[in-house]
A and B are shown apart, each in its own frame.
Chain A
Amino acid sequence: MGTTLVGSSPLFLQSGLVPRGSRIIVFESIFEVFLLLGTLVGVVVIGYMLYNAYKYRSGATKGDEEVGDRPVLGELPTGSGGGRKLATSFFMSMIIVVSLISWTYLTLLYVEEGPSADNSLDIEAEGYQFGWRFTYPNGHTTDGVLRIPAEQPVRLQVTSADVFHNFGIPELRVKTDAIPGQETETWFVANETGTYTAQCYELCGAGHSYMSAEVIVMPPDEYEEWYESTGNGSSESVSTENQTAFVEARPA
C-alpha cells in the first residue's frame, strides 16, 4: 500500500527504515520503538538512581572519609566536580532523543504528504454540537455515519460549524482539529472492513463525551454500489444510540 501512496519519495523513505504504510502501521511501529527505548532508559536511570541512593545512604558508606569536604553553613554555593560524567550522560541522552525525533520526522514528512489525489477519496467532515456531518464528492451528505471503501486512501477536509472540535478515529489512527472558519486536512486508509467509531477529542460542550459517529468500512464493490445509489443533494442521517439518548436526556 505504502509504495503506491507515495511514488516519488526519496530512496531512504523506501528503504524500510522509515515506517510507512497505513497510519496504523506508522503509529504502531514508532510507538513500539519509543515504548521499548523509553522503558529501557527509564529503568536504567531510575535503577541507577535507586542504587546510588542506597549505596550512599548515611552511615553505610565510607563516603565520609573519602570526601571530607562537606558543605558548610554560609558558604557561597559552588558545585561539586563530576562535570565529565555529566557531559557524557548529557550527550548520550541528546543523541538518543535527537536521533529518535529525526527518525520520526521522516515519517512525519511521509504522513504530511498524504496519498495522491487520483487514487483517493475526498470527503468533507464538519463537526457541530454534537455530531459529525460528511459530504461526498457527488454532494451526498450523511450525518453521524461515514461510509468508506476498504483499502482506498481517504482524504478528509475537516472543519466545524460552531466550536472547536477534533475529529479522530482511534482504531484507524487518524485525528485532526475541526476549527470553525479553518480547514484542516488529514488522511487514512482502512484495510479491514467493519464498523469503527469516530470520536471528538476537544472539549466542545455538554455533549462532548457522546459526540461520535459511526465509520463503516465496506468492501469496495459494495461501497461502489452504495455510492451509485446516492446523488447530488441526497442525504442520510444516522444518530448513534448514545447521541440520541443524550440529546433526549438533555434539559431543554
Chain B
Amino acid sequence: MSDTDPERTDGGTEVGSEVVAGGHEDDHDHGHDFPGTGSIKRWFVTTNHKDVGILYIVTSLFFLVLGGVLAWLMRIQLWAPRAPGETILAPVAYNQAVSAHGLLMVFWFLSPFAFGFANYIVPLQLGAKDLAFPRLNALSYWLYLFSGILFGVSFFQGGTFSGGWTMYAPLNVPTFTPDVGASTAVLALVLFVASVTVSSVNFLTTMHRMRAEGLTLRNMPLFSWTILLTVWMMLFAFAALLAALMVLSADRLLGTTYFAMESPAGALLWTHLFWFFGHPEVYIVFFPALGVMAEVFQTFTGRRIVGRKWFIIAMVLVAIQSFVVWMHHMFLTSINLQVKTLFMITTIGISLPFDLMVFALIYTMLKGKIRFTTPFLFVFGALLLFIIGGITGVFLGAVVLDYEFRGTYWVVAHFHYVMVGGVTALVGGLYYWFPKITGRMYDEFLGKVHFAAYFVGFNLLYFPLFVAWETPRRVFDYAPELAPWHQLATIGGFVLGLSFLIMFYNLFKSAFTGDPVSDNPWEYATTAEWAVSSPPPLENFEGTPTYRDGHLSFILDRESDVTGGATAADGSGGATAGGGVATSPHTAVTTEYEPTVEATEVEGPSHASIWPFVLSLGAFLILLGISPLQDAAFPEGMMGAAYATTAVAGFGVTLGSLIAMGLEPFHGPVFDEGEAWPFSGIDNGKVGMWIFLASDVVLFGGFLGAYIFTRFAFGWTGWQPVPDDPIPGLVNTYILLTSSFTVVLALVAAEKKHKLGLVTSLGATFVLGIGFLVNKALEWQHLFHEGLWLSTNVRTSTFFLTTGLHAAHVIAGLIIALYLTARAWRGAYLEDNRSVEYFGLYWHFVDIVWLFLFPLFYIL
C-alpha cells in the first residue's frame, strides 16, 4: 500500500495535466523555469498551493497506513487478555505502539490530511491565486514531511517514546524513558509544530487579506470558515504546545528539572500546558471535517444549509471556548472544587453549539433532493458517528461519571467515534474533490463498496468498546469476560483497515483511467473551485474573480481579452449555463486594472524554490544531531561525534538556505485587495509578522506561565532570584532599550533615504545585541562558577531556560540584523524599507519580553 503512494502523486497529476484541454498548466508558466507535473523535480521545488495540497494528502495517507499498522498490532495483542510473558508485543513495545499510534494519527495524519484539502481548496474558494506566502507554504509541507521522517527515525534509536500521546510527566523525562528515540520523538513534534506555526501564519494572512471582492467573511463558504477557525485555534494552541515541548526537550536534553519527579507540581504543570493545547486540538482536528460535511451536505441534498448564520456563530463560540475547558481532563487531579465547577460549566457550554450544528445539518436534508453518491454516504455516516460520539461525550461531562470513566475504554471509544468520525467526513471530502484534483471521476460502485465496508468495520471496531468500557486504557491484561468484545473489535479493525485498500485501488486506477470530468461534475455545487477547470490552471483563474454583483464573475485582464477570453468562455461555458457564473469583460474595469496587469507581466509570480526543502532538511539534521544529548552533553565516542557532526552540518545547511532564500528573487501572488477585514490596507508581510508575534506571545506566555505556576507551587516568596545581583540584568535592559531605539532610527533613516544613517543604525543594533549576549555570557559564566547549572534545581532551570529562550530570540534577531546591515551597505531598503520595519517589529517584541523577564527573574 505504502509504496504505491509516491507513484500516485506523479501518476495522478500527470494524468491531470494531460486531461486539461490545451494544457492550461503549461500555458500559464509565464516563461519561468517551472517543470511540469510529470517531472520529479517539480515536486521538490513547487510552491503552488495545489501541488502542496496534493503532497499533503498523499503524505498524510502514508502516515495513516503507518498509524493503522500500529493499531493492528495493538488490536492483535488485545485479542485476548495477556498475562505476563504471554504477550505478543513486549510491554514496552505495546506502550510504544499506543503512543506512536496516537501521535501519528492525530498529528501526522488527521490534521495534515485536512490541510491537504485546505491548501488545495481554500485559495480557490477565496478567489486567490495562491497563498500569501507560497514559499512558506512549501516550507510548511517540507517541515511536516521531515518531522514525520524524524519520528520514523526514533523507532531505530533504542525505541520511540512510550509515555502515551498525552506524554504525562514525569514519565516523559529520561529518568523513566531513557531511550534516545523518546527524545527524537519529542523533537519530531517540535518540528511538526514549527510547520503548523508557519502554516497558520500563512493561512491567516491569506484568508483575511486575499478574499475576492464581495467575499466578506460573512459570505465565505463553510469549508473555508472551518479552516479559518481551525488556523486561529492552531496559532494559539500550538504555541502553548511548543512551550510545553521546548521545556520537555530541555528537560530531556539539557537536564532542566521542570517535570522531574521532585519538581513542585511538575506533573501538574505538564497537564496544564498539554491540555491547554489538547482541548483546542480536539476541535482543530474536527472542524475541517465539519466543513467538509457542510459543503457535501449542501451539494448532495441540493439545499443551502439551514441556519447558516447560527452555524457560523456556533463554530466561532466553540473556537473561543475551546481555550477555557482544558481542566476537564484533570477532574481527578488535585485541582479544587471551584475550578472543577467552573470547568464543568464551560464544558457543557461548549457541547451545546454542536447540538445546533448537528440539527442544522439534519434539517438541511428536508425538502432536499438527496443523491447518495460516495461523498455523501461518507459524510452522512460521519454525522451519524459524530452523534454517537457526542452523546457519549456528554457522559464524560458529568463529573461524577467522568470519575469512573477516566482511563477506561469508554474514553477510547468516545474519542475514536469523534475523531475517526471526522476522518470519515474527510474521506468523503477526498471523493468529493478527487475529480477536481485529478480531472477524472472515481469508480462510484467501488466507492460505495468502500463505504459499506468502512462503516461496518468502524462500528464493529468501536461500538463493542463501549460495552467493554471497564477495560483500563493502555492495558492489555483485562478481565477475561470482556474478551469476546475485544475480539469483535479486532475483527472490525481489520475490516476497517482493509476497506482502505478498496479506496487506494479505486483512486489509483481512476486517476489514470477514470472518465474525464467537466468543471463541475456535481449538480448544485456552489463554491468557486467548481467554476474553474478540473484540475484548475496553475494560477487558478482566468481573470480576477469577484462577487461584486452578488455572484461569482471574472474580470478579464487586458492580455487575455482576446485569446484568454475565449478560453475562459470555453472553460466555464457549462457553468454559466448551469449556474450563472459569468465572465464579464467590463471594459471600464479592465482599464482600471491595467497597471496591475502590466506589473504582473513584468515580474510574473514565481512558483518554484528549492530552499524550503533544503531548509527543512537542515532543521531535520539539527534535531537529529542533538537528539542523543543528555545533560547538555553528547554521548562518548564515535556515536556522539557522528551526532555532533550531523547537528553542525544541519546548522550550516539551515543558515545557508535561509540566506539563499532571502536573496532568491521570488514574487508572491499578485492581487488587488478585495475583502480584507480586519486587516485591510496593511501589507501582507506586516500582517504575517504580527500574527507570528501573537503566537510568540503565547510561547513566551507559556514559559512565563510555567515559571509562575512552579514558583507558586513552590511558595512564591520563598523563592529567591537566581542572580544575586540585579545589576547585570539592568545593564542588559539598558542595552536592549538602546538597541530598540537604534532600530527606530534605522527606519527613520530608511524613510529619509539616508543610506549612511541606515547602515550605522542597523550596525549599532547589531553591536548592541552582541553586547547583550556578551554581558549575559559573563553573567552565566559567573553563575556556573558558583555551581549553579540548569539542572541544579527548578529555580535555576526556569532562570536559564526562560532567559535562554529569550537569548535565542536575540541571536535570531542578530542574524537578521547582520543580513540587513550587509544588504543596506550595498544600497538596499532605501526604496522599499519594509524589511527593516518588520525586523523592527520583531526586535521590539524581543525587547518587550525582556522588560518582563528582568523584574521577574532578577529583582522580584
Contacts and interface: CB of A to CB of B under 8 A. Distances in A.
B332 A63 contact: no
Interface string B526-551: 11101100000000000000010011
Contacts of B818: none
A205 interface: yes
A70 B391 contact: no
B579 A73 contact: yes
A53 B356 CA distance: 19
Interface stretch (A141-149, A175-183, A213-221, A228-236): A175-183
Interface in B363-420: 363-372, 380, 383-384, 387-388, 391-392, 394-395, 397-401, 403-404, 406-408
B369 A61 contact: yes
Nearest to B87: A209
B266 to A, nearest CB: 7
Interface stretch (B169-177, B556-564, B745-753): B169-177
A205 B91 CA distance: 8
Contacts of A250: 91
A26 to B, nearest CB: 6
Nearest to B85: A249
A118 B161 CA distance: 46
Contact of B400 (A41, A77, A104, A176): A104
Contacts of B526: 71-75, 77
B334 A183 contact: yes
A238 interface: no
Given A38-B394, A56-B365, A210-B84, A105 B344 contact: yes
| Most chain B Cβ neighbours within 10 Å, of A56, A111, A248 | A56
A70 B302 CA distance: 6
A193 B476 CA distance: 28
Nearest to A26: B400
Given A67-B303, A206-B95, A166 B332 contact: yes
Contacts of B344: 101, 105, 108
Interface in B339-380: 340-341, 344, 348, 351-352, 355-356, 358-360, 362-372, 380
A101 B365 contact: no
Interface string B452-483: 00000000000000000010111111000000
Given A45-B387, A74-B528, A203-B168, A86 B306 contact: yes
B580 A34 contact: no
A191 B374 CA distance: 55
Given A75-B526, A180-B261, A56 B85 contact: no
B165 to A, nearest CB: 10
Interface string A194-214: 000001111111111110000
Given A49-B384, A182-B334, A73 B581 contact: yes
Given A34-B398, A56-B368, A80-B364, A184 B472 contact: no
Nearest to A90: B356
B85 A74 contact: no
B477 A242 contact: yes
B221 interface: yes
A27 B348 contact: no
Contact of A74 (B362, B364, B581): B581
Interface residues of B, number: 114
A70 B95 contact: no
B221 A73 contact: no
A52 B171 contact: no
B84 A242 contact: yes
Interface string A51-88: 01100111101011011001111111111111101100
B310 interface: yes
A98 interface: yes
A104 B398 contact: yes
A222 interface: no
A74 B473 contact: no
A173 to B, nearest CB: 6
Contacts of A183: 334
B638 to A, nearest CB: 26
B308 interface: yes
Given A56-B365, A71-B298, A86-B306, A97 B351 contact: yes
Given A49-B384, A94-B355, A201-B407, A67 B367 contact: yes
B170 A34 contact: no
Given A77-B526, A81-B306, A207 B359 contact: no
Contacts of B215: 76
B398 A203 contact: no
A34 B171 CA distance: 35
Contact of A242 (B83, B262, B380, B387): B83
B530 A73 contact: yes
A48 B85 CA distance: 50
Contact of A182 (B265, B363, B551): B265
Contacts of B474: 203, 208-209
B180 interface: no
B267 A180 contact: yes
Contacts of B358: 45
A127 to B, nearest CB: 12
Contacts of B717: none
B407 A205 contact: no
B401 A181 contact: no
A210 B827 CA distance: 70
A192 interface: no
Nearest to A67: B367
Given A38-B395, A104-B401, A184-B333, 20 more contacts: A26-B400, A27-B401, A31-B404, A34-B395, A49-B362, A49-B383, A56-B365, A71-B302, A71-B304, A75-B551, A77-B220, A86-B363, A93-B352, A101-B394, A163-B261, A164-B170, A179-B268, A181-B265, A184-B334, A202-B168
14 contacts: A34-B394, A38-B391, A70-B524, A73-B580, A74-B552, A82-B307, A104-B399, A163-B176, A176-B332, A180-B170, A181-B261, A183-B334, A203-B98, A209-B475
Interface of A: 26-27, 30-31, 34, 38, 41-42, 45-46, 48-49, 52-53, 56-59, 61, 63-64, 66-67, 70-83, 85-86, 89-90, 93-94, 97-98, 100-101, 104-105, 107-108, 111-112, 129, 162-164, 166, 168, 170, 173, 175-177, 179-184, 199-210, 242, 245-246, 248-250
| A-B pairs with lowest CB-CB distance, top 7 | A73-B579, A79-B308, A201-B407, A74-B552, A74-B581, A246-B84, A93-B355
